[in-house]
Amino acid sequence: MAGRCSVCAKSFNAFRWSHTCRYCLEAVCSSCSAKTSTLHGTKLKKPKRVCLACFVDTKFHTAQPPPATFETNEDGEPLVSPPTLHTHHRTKPPLTLADLTIFTARFQHDATFFLLLEQAISAMECSMGLIQLIGARDVVVVTSYNVDDMPISMSRVDAGLVTLTAHPQLVQEAYHEDTCFVRIPLMLAATSCIGVLEVASPRGAMPPADVLKELLDIASTAAMVMQNTAMDYHQPKKSVSSRWRQHRGNSASTTSTCSLYSSSAGSFRDTTTDSTCSSAVSDMAEGMMEALLTMSKQTSHLIQNTKERRLHHQHCVV
C-alpha cells in the first residue's frame, strides 16, 4: 500500500489504511478523517468519510471537474481542452497540545536539555535562554540559563502561550526582562506542540536563516528526547497468555514440532498470523532503534560542538 496521508504526511501501511475524502478527493488515514451524515444541509442515508480539513469547514465542496469546453482552431475543427480542476480552499487542522508535564521531574534531571539550551545560546550568540513545557493550564520550566527571578511554573496567560503556533516568533513577555526572545516551538508529528525553546535576541530581531535552521534542529532534537522518554516510561511489559501452552508428545523428554495450540479450541493453531504480527513488531522495534541511534548521534554532535566552542572561547580570552 503506497502513498502518504495528505494531512499528517504519514505513509500508508497495513496498520494505517488509506481513505478518500468524499469532498476534496485527497487520500487520508483514519486518524485524519471523520464521518459526517450531512451534505450541504441535507441528511444522508449513509455517513460519508471526509478529511479533517473539510470536516471543520462551514461549507463542504464537491471536487467534480467541470465539463470539457470545445474550441475551434483556424480550420474550424473542434478542439477539446482538458478539464480544469477547481482548487478549493482547505483549512489545515488546528494545532493541538500534547501535555507532557507529568514528566517534568524526569526532564529537569536530564542534562541533555541543558546542553541543547547551551548549544542554542551559543548559536544565537546571546547569554539567556530557557526550555519550557506547555500544560493544559500552566507552563513549567525544564531548564534555564541567566534568566533571573524566573518562576518554575506560571499560567499560560502570563507566559503568552494561550494560542499555540508551529512557527518561530519574536516575543517579549513580562519575564523576559525587557529583552526580545526568539521562541521556537517543540513539535511532535508537525501538529502537536509540547513546549518552547526561547533564546534572547540581542539585536531585537529574528536571526539569519542559517541560525534559525540550527535553532529548529535543536528544538526538534529536544522534542525527540522528550518523546522517547515518554514512550520509554509507558512501554508496556510483555506478558504471555495463559491459554497458550507448550504441547508435548508421548515422551516426557520429546517436544512436538507443533508447539503452540489453543487449549480452548482443542486443536492446533495456524501460526501464519502470529508470524506476520511478530514481523511487524520487529520492524517497529527496528525503526525505533534507528530513531534512538540518530538522536544519540545528534546529541553527541551537539555536545562536541559545545566543547569546541568553549575551547575556542578560552583560547580567545587567553
150 and 203 share one domain:
yes
Tell me the three state secondary structure of residue 150. Answer: coil
223 and 105 share one domain:
yes
The structural domain count of the chain equals: 2
Q: How many residues are recorded in the chain?
A: 318
Q: Which residues contact 126 (CB under 8 A, 6 or more apart)?
A: 199, 200, 201, 202
How many other β-carbons are positioned within 10 Å of the β-carbon of residue 287? 10
In a domain, 180, yes or no: yes
Helix (H) or strand (E) holding 284: helix 272-317
What letter represents residue 139's amino acid?
Answer: V
CATH number at residue 161: 3.30.450.40
In a domain, 284, yes or no: no
pLDDT the model gives residue 315: 67
201 and 127 share one domain:
yes
Enter the C-alpha cell of residue 98.
Answer: 500534547
114 and 185 share one domain:
yes
Nearest to 122 by CA among 315, 306, 302: 306
27 and 110 share one domain:
no
How many other β-carbons are positioned within 10 Å of the β-carbon of residue 157? 11
In terms of residue numbers, what domain contains 173?
Answer: 100-233
Are 201 and 213 within 8 A, CB to CB?
A: no
In a domain, 287, yes or no: no
Mean pLDDT, 10 residues at a time, over the chain (318 residues)?
72 84 81 70 71 57 46 60 48 69 90 93 92 90 85 83 86 85 88 90 91 93 88 57 45 39 40 48 60 66 71 65
List b or e across 242-263, with b for residues whose CB sees 16 or more CB atoms inside 10 angstroms.
eeeeeeeeeeeeeeeeeeebee
- The residue among 62, 82, 110 that closes a domain is 62
- The residue among 233, 264, 286 that closes a domain is 233
> Cα-flanking dihedrals φ and ψ of residue 137, to 5°?
-125, -30
34 and 158 share one domain:
no
In a domain, 44, yes or no: yes
pLDDT the model gives residue 155: 86
pTM, to two decimals: 0.49
What letter represents residue 257's amino acid?
Answer: T
10 and 128 share one domain:
no
In a domain, 151, yes or no: yes
What's the CA gap between 119 and 143, in Å, rounded? Answer: 13
Burial of 54 (0-12, 13-18, 19+ CB in 10 A): buried
In a domain, 309, yes or no: no
121 and 228 share one domain:
yes
In a domain, 41, yes or no: yes
In a domain, 214, yes or no: yes
CATH number at residue 11: 3.30.40.10
- The residue among 233, 264, 282 that closes a domain is 233
List b or e across 8-28, with b for residues whose CB sees 16 or more CB atoms inside 10 angstroms.
beeebeeebebbebbbbebbb
What's the CA gap between 134 and 318, in Å, rounded? Answer: 42
pLDDT the model gives residue 153: 82
**How remote is the C-alpha of 264 from its chain's centroid?**
42
